[in-house]
Structures are given as structure tokens and as C-alpha cells.
Amino acid sequence: MVDAIVLNEIEETLAQLTLEEKVSLLAGKDFWRTVPVPGKNVPSIKTSDGPSGARGDTFTGGTKAAFFPSGISMGATFNPDLAYEVGQFIADEVKSKSASVLLAPTACCHRSPLGGRNFESYSEDPLLSGKMASGYIRGVQSKGVAATMKHYAANEQETWRLSVDETIDETTLREIYLKPFEIAMREAQPWAVMTAYNIINGVHCDSNPLTLKQILRGEWNYEGLVMSDWFGCNSMVESLLAGLDLEMPGPAKKRPVKELLAEAEKDENVRAAVDKAARRILTLIAKVGKWKDMTPEAPEVSREDPETAKIIRKAGAEGVVLLKNDNALPLQPKSLKKVAFIGPNAKATVAGGGGSANLNPNYLTQPYETFVSAIQEINSQIEVPFAQGCIIDRWVPIINAESGLCRVGGPGSEPGLLAEWFRGYETKGGVVSSTVFKDSSLFLVDTRPAELTVEEGFSVKLTSQVSVPETGKYNISLSTITASKLYLDGELLIDNWDFKERGNLMMNVGSEEQVRTIELKKGQWYEMVVHNASIWPKESPSDIFMQELGAMGIRVGLAFDYDNNTLVTQAVDAVKDSDAVVVVVGLNNEWESESYDRTSTKLPNQQDDLINEIAKVNSNVIVVNQSGAPVDMPWAENPNIKAVVQAWYGGQEAGNVIADVLLGKQNPSGKLPLTFPVKLEDNPTHMYFPGKDQKVEYTEKLMVGYRYYDTGNVEPRFPFGYGLSYSTWKLGKTVLSTTELTEGGSLTASVDISNTGAVAGAEVVQLYVKRKVPTTSSVKRPIKELKGFKKTHLAPGETAVAEISVDDKSLGVWIQETGRWVVEAGDYEILIGTSSAESALTVAGTVTVKATWSWI
């Protein structure tokens, strides 16, 4: 925190700043930094994405960084203490990128299983989301780095994300979508908050008087910094008066200094708001240890730290959820001769979802290699055949320097692709700047040389020599933000100069992928050149922010033209005589990403067919699924599918995490932080997501996730809070500290938990409250809600007491008619168990509230 001396200095500096200097602070300097005022010793501080690690100041291909498990994987740990540890390590990563502000955590609740950014967030449940976010925030800030809780609020979809107008009743808004933020304000006090893009009940989040002014600044007394999401500031004065301190990125778009200064000079309310916002910016600078520190920004560095790798592997394993196990896991290598390893993700490095949560990892691990290495350490004679099974790429895979099949120039030249910047549209004349990229996905939003201006126009030439591993038909693809052409050995192969349609690539501003299929020969090198000019095709949808920014983007794909039917047949042939089959399926950062939502919960591209066909010829099949949200599992009840593992996105240690769990080096202890429905149509938002004509109604109200399934008696595939173990567990009788709850009081449930199995592990005891009293609220209430949980790690035969506390406000409901939180008189049933399913819960007792109380 900031001591009294520095607080006085902040006030002194604020008094010395001119009004114009104060106004200049209220928008960013560039894409990642705040504005300095050197004459008054006010430094610039740097921000960095994101939830899964510190990427630094380059969106793609930047400084290598540690890649942590995604938010949903952390949510599955049900372990806020582990989130605290992870936060500490991520803070060190932030410092290595010379940044002071981490743009994380993402704490919005999952409304629909189709949400493209679900993988970034923790859960469908606001309590779990808030507790996990609180642990993460406290960990980050314990190292002097600011955490930025986002996206405030109700950012549950990416479709029309900049403009979607959400109709949400206030009870639902407060009890579901604001609740994680409220919990974190109370338990972790994040130093910064980022507003969401979307509109709530007709008003953008960056200037919403209810969520920002009344609730965040008023009821919660939040005095930390509030910044906009990037290009998410939609007004000049309105946002400032509502409590938005900082427009990002810079230079200012909605808050140009001259115009805002004029408003401040003529209106004392605006001047007062400028003072408040400037004070909060100065205070944040002090909190992160940069007060009056005018030292030049140090270069970014990569830190491959063994202890960081350990915590990533530990956290990834603790989030893995064992969904089914008919004595198939853990595998016993000494008794096996052949274990087939099959599937589109078996040899893939699936570490996380796409968008701002992505980064350039220190390294990646893939399941097959790590599994083979680990299992053959135990039994060197075991065979582990591999078959692809099917291809699940949404787009043609990019070219990667690590493959050894692309180089900047002739023989012996550097692996990679050379990008050169030019003045004008023709990629002619002197090269202004050049960079060698290690793969062919270039989202050039923050790397344009400063001397190239949008008004004058500029261009990029991407050059590489490419080769292929075998002769055959190959797909070559091109997508760009602006006009482009791709040449192969001097011949125009793809003309994307006047494209009309935009797709989901490059944050929804990339063109639809253009694909050509041609014959290529092994051993031959082909010169590939892409010309990309800063010309927005006239008939293509425009993006005013990206145009003003001068954003460029090039994505080139090159891959063998596979046939999935053939691959499935090959996989079936490969597993017939195997003792066990591991099938690794799922999604990746092309299917789950910022800027677009999924359209289906089915596994894409014949993965279900692959699993079903393998199960016809082998009776010991283990399915490992990697995804950040629910997928349909129509094969889960098949008796030949002996085990199902939900592995999420485990970051750079994902391969090791899967191998550890399959071989029993780690006992899975994850619990589902969201419900897996049988099919998409079963989920409560099916009829209302993503809405129509850029509007969406939260018609399901409080019936989000398990609240809906439990209340409506809709049987899910797997319930919220569910997860198996290699251990067995026994819960003793629960003792309640009181049978009566009064204002200012609390309730503690104490339950003995015993590990009755043969291996060490962990179990999560969950406390749900079922209302036995009718509510005065006009909004239908769920039959029960999670109100507490405790994860306990135990050795074999060990017993411990799990204590879960519920405070006096935990039973409160928002009564929209009176505008107050109320704990209503009556009886509340306390349920204790290991998932939200009724069969997994026992009634621990009843707590009575004799007199109603309320608060704002």
C-alpha cells in the first residue's frame, strides 16, 4: 500500500500539475503505456496481458513468457490458495516484461457454454469465480504488481461484443454477474478494474451510472483505478463523470486533450472528475513502486524458471477432472504391452485459448511425447503406436520456423519469415524496419514503425522460403486485415486485394480465409511472398478503431490436404490389438477465442466418429478432452469407454499434466466449475444466445448453470462440482456452529473428511443452501446455491476437519422492488457433499433466521 508520506507527495504533485497535464493523464500514451509528465516526475507505467501469463508489449511473436493454465482450469481446482501462488509467479513474469499492471484476472461468469472466452474465466458460479479471482489478485499484488479485474461487467459473449445491448434485471445483474467483482472488492481489493465493451440496459459499461457510479464507486467505495477495455471508451465527459479514469489504448481517441480540457475549463464538475481520475492514476503509479521513478524502461526478458514450471505443472494437474473411471486409470505400465495413443490433439501443443490470453510460450509440451517418455521409463518394452485420427484445424495451420521448413533466404539462412515495412502501398523503396517472425501469424497492431503514418499509407512485405515434408497436395491459405496478395515462386496464387467478407481471424477484422490447393514436392524450396498494403477494401466491413490505429495483419497457412475418413480408418486399424487406447480430442485456440463465440457444443470434424469407431474394436478406451468449456460426449456411457478425463488447457506443461494423470503421478482432484449438459439444447440460454439484431435478453435470469438444471430437474451429462479421484473418500457427520443466524453473525459447518484410499489426494467439500422460505422477490429463485467450499489434501488413511464458514450476508437476496439486499426470515437447509447433484449431498441441518434484515 501507499504510505502517508507518498500520499502527501501525490497531493503535492496533483496541485503542481496544470489542468492540461491532468487531462493528458486520462488516456494512454500508446498501446500499452500511460502518459508521463517528465517535468513533474510522473513516470509512464506499462500494462501487459493477460490471465495466463505476461505477454509483454507485442501481440504476436513477442518475448517468450511462461504460459499458465487457463482460468477455467484454475477454477476446476476449487483452490483459492493455489490461485494465490499462481498469481505470485505471474507477477514475477510481469516484472520480467518491464510492466507494472497485469490485465487480469477475467472473472465474468459463464452464461452460455458457447461463450468464446469462457476458457479465460473461472466458473458459471459467482461465488467460485469471486473466490478464485480474489486469490489470484492477492497473489499478484503481494509482489507489487497491479491486478486488473475484468471485464466489468456482464461480458459473457463475444458476438457483437463492442455493441451488444444486454437486457438484465437488477436482481440477476447483482447476484450473478456483479457478485464475483463484489467478492474480490471485499477480499482482495484489486488496484485496477477494466470495464467491458458491452451495453447493459442501454448504456455502455464504460459510462454506466448504475454499475460504475452507484455500485462500484458508491456502494463498494472503490477508489482504485478504472480503465477501459482497449478501444472500449465510448464517450468523453459521460465516462469521466461515471468514474472511468483511463482510456486505453493511447493516444486518446475519445478524450483528446484539447477537447476535454475545454470541457473541464467551463464545468467545475468535469474539473473535479479530472482531479479524481488523475489522483487515482498517480496513486496506482505509487502502488506499483514507480513513484517518481523516471528510470528508462528496461528491455523485456524471458525467464525460464524451474520453479515457475513446477507451479504450472502442479496447477494444471490439480485442475484435471476425472469424469469417468471403470478401473482403467491410472494405467499400469508393467502389465501392458501396447498402449495406442490416438487423436487430433495427441501430438498437438494445445496450451490455451485465443486472443489476448495468448502469448509466445517459453516452450510447449504435447501429450504423446511426454506420455511415451514417462511410460517407457517404467516399461522400456512397451509399444505406443500413434495415429492422427482426424484433423480438427478450423483454418489451415500456420507455418512455423521450428519445423525447419521455412527460412528467411537461401540455404543456411535464419529459420522464419522476414517482414519488411515500407512507405506507400507498393512495398518499394527503402525498408523502414524489418523483423524476423518465427511463425506466419502476424497480428501487427502494436509494432508499426513510428515514422509510418496512417495518412501517408504503408505496406508490409512478408518473405520466406518454404518446403514440405512429403510430396502431395497442400492447402495454402491467406487472410489479412487489409489488401493483400500472395505469390509463390513469382506467380500470383491468392488475390486478396479487394476482399468483401471478414471472418473470425485476427480479432474479427481479418478477411475470410482464402485457400488454394496445389501440388508441392518434397525437397524443393519455394519462395513465398505476401504483399500487404494499408488499404481497407471498399466493399469490406470497416473497423474505425483498427483503421485509426493503422492495424495490419497477415496469416498464411500451409498444410497437407488430409482426408478425415482415411485418417479415422487408419486409427481404427492401429488400435485393434492394443491393451489400452488413449484418444486425445477437444478444441484449441482456433475454436475458443476472444472476439467470437462457438456455434455448437459438438466436437468438430468427426471426433465423435473417431471415438465411436475405436470403441467398436477396442474395449479399453480412455478419452482425454481438452477444451475450455463443455462439449457433447454422446459416447460417455459406452461400456467400452472406460475412462473420460477433462484436461482443459494446461498451459506450457499441458502434455506433462496429461501424462502425469494418466500414469498416476498425479491424483486428479479437479471438480467441474460448470455444468456439462447432455446437449446444447438443454442449457438455459439456448433460445436466447447470442440474441438478435445486436440485442440479447437474459431471459433465464438467475437460472444460470446448475441453478437451472437443479431447479428444472434437467439431467446434465455431468453436474457442477463433480469429479472423481484415484482415492476413495468418506465424509463424517457435519456439525453446525449454530442453528440460528442473526445480523452480524456467521455459521461454520465442520465435517470430518477421510482419505480411505491407497494414494494421497484431495477432495472438495461443498456447502449449498436450500431456501425453505418463499421470497418476496419477483424473480424466480434457484432451489439451492453454492455458499462455500473447502479443498483438503490428505495422505492415505488420514482424516481432517474441513471447516466452511458462511457470513450473515451470504444468504442475502436482492429485492428489486425495494432496492435492497435482504436476508429473509425463515428456515434454510444446509447441504454438504461433493457435487451439486442431489445424490452427492446430505442434509447437515437447518439454520433459522428469526428476523429479516436488509442493507444497501
143: three-class secondary structure by DSSP: coil
Strands of the sheet with 695-697, listed across from one edge: 203-204, 199-200, 165-167, 695-697
706: three-class secondary structure by DSSP: helix
The three three-digit cell numbers of residue 530, written as one number = 505476401
Return d(Cα 791, Cα 834) in angstroms, integer: 10
Return d(Cα 306, Cα 308) in angstroms, integer: 5
Return d(Cα 807, Cα 389) in angstroms, integer: 52
CB-based contact 696:689 (threshold 8 Å): yes
Strands of the sheet with 621-626, listed across from one edge: 321-325, 641-646, 621-626, 580-586, 339-342, 386-387
Q: How far apart are the first and last CA of the chain?
A: 28
Query: Shortest CA distance to 345 belongs to which of 369, 319, 366?
Result: 366
Return d(Cα 643, Cα 325) in angstroms, integer: 4
**Which residue in 229, 393, 608, 632 is the catalytic one?**
229
Whether 165 sits among the annotated catalytic residues: the reply is no
The DSSP bridge pattern shows strands 203-204 and 225-227 to be unpaired
- Which amino acid belongs to residue 689? F
CB-based contact 654:367 (threshold 8 Å): yes
Q: Check whether the bond before 249 is cis (ω within 30° of 0).
A: yes
Task: Put residue 845 in one of left, alpha, beta given phi > 0 → left and psi -120 to 50 → alpha.
Answer: left
723: three-class secondary structure by DSSP: coil
CB-based contact 63:302 (threshold 8 Å): yes
- For 467, phi and psi rounded to 5 degrees? -135, 170
Query: Shortest CA distance to 812 belongs to which of 847, 850, 775, 840?
Result: 775
Q: At what angle do helices 268-287 and 257-266 cross, to 10 degrees?
A: 120
The three three-digit cell numbers of residue 411, written as one number = 540455404
The DSSP bridge pattern shows strands 761-771 and 826-833 to be antiparallel
Return d(Cα 557, Cα 466) in angstroms, integer: 11
Q: At what angle do helices 564-575 and 607-617 cross, to 10 degrees?
A: 30
The three three-digit cell numbers of residue 245, written as one number = 479514469
CB-based contact 64:361 (threshold 8 Å): yes
> Could you say which DSSP state residue 211 is in?
I
668: three-class secondary structure by DSSP: coil
Burial 115-146 (b: 16+ CB within 10 A, else e): bbbbbbbbbbbbbbbbbbbbbbbbbbbebebb
Helix (H) or strand (E) holding 747, with range, is strand 746-755
| Residue 329 neighbours by CB under 8 Å, 6+ apart | 322, 622, 642, 643, 645, 661, 662, 664, 726
Query: Shortest CA distance to 404 belongs to which of 289, 261, 525?
Result: 525
Tally helices (H) and strands (E) across the chain: 18, 36
Residue 113 buriedness (CB in 10 A; 0-12 / 13-18 / 19+)? buried
Residues with catalytic function? 229
